[in-house]
């Protein structure tokens, strides 16, 4: 099972990913909304994989538009780390490979996507179907200075 890791620019937040998909088969998405374009986001998720985000106490949660997900930003360096939803006590995420500088993924081209016109329920269901399970861990250990 391929494993990757990445961190925000300042190193306060780490992400670990395990997926059954080989790197060359990962499809990066480039959402065309103003938020994602401003952050240069290239996101991906594997519903059969899993992710872990450590240092969540150092994240700022931002909601906009239909407020159906929390967009996680490092409170120190501002990197967009992931977007997360909660459903029945579990969390699901799409990971920003570009912001986290995940090897083999961060510099690849992405497929532009637009979710304009999607209502809140359709958006939530798409995310539950396509995003990956994620564990949010507060304690990251020693903070980087």
The structural domains of the chain, ordered by start, are 3-135 (2.170.150.70)
Nearest CA among 48, 20, 7 for reference residue 141: 7
Note the pLDDT tens digit of each residue in 15-60: 999 998 988 899 999 999 999 999 999 999 999 999 999 999 999 9
Query: What percent helix, strand, coil does the chain show, rounded to 5?
Result: 20, 35, 45
Q: What is the pTM of this model?
A: 0.91
Above 90 in pLDDT, residue 141? no
Residues 6+ apart with CB under 8 A from 29: 42, 43, 44, 94, 110, 111, 113
**Which pLDDT tens digit goes with each residue over 63-119?**
999 999 999 999 999 999 999 999 999 999 999 999 999 988 888 999 999 999 999
């Amino acid at each position: 099972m391929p494993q990757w890791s990445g961190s925000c620019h300042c190193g306060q937040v780490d992400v670990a990913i395990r997926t059954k998909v080989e790197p060359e088969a990962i499809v990066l998405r480039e959402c065309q909304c103003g938020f994602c374009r401003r952050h240069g986001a290239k996101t991906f998720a594997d519903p059969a994989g899993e992710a872990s985000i450590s240092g969540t106490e150092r994240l700022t949660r931002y909601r906009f538009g239909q407020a159906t997900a929390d967009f996680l930003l490092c409170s120190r360096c501002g990197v967009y780390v992931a977007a997360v939803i909660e459903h029945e006590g579990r969390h699901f995420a799409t990971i920003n490979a570009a912001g986290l500088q995940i090897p083999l993924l961060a510099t690849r081209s992405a497929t532009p996507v637009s979710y304009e016109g999607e209502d809140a329920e359709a958006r939530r269901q798409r995310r539950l179907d396509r995003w990956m399970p994620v564990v949010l861990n507060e304690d990251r250990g020693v903070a980087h200075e």
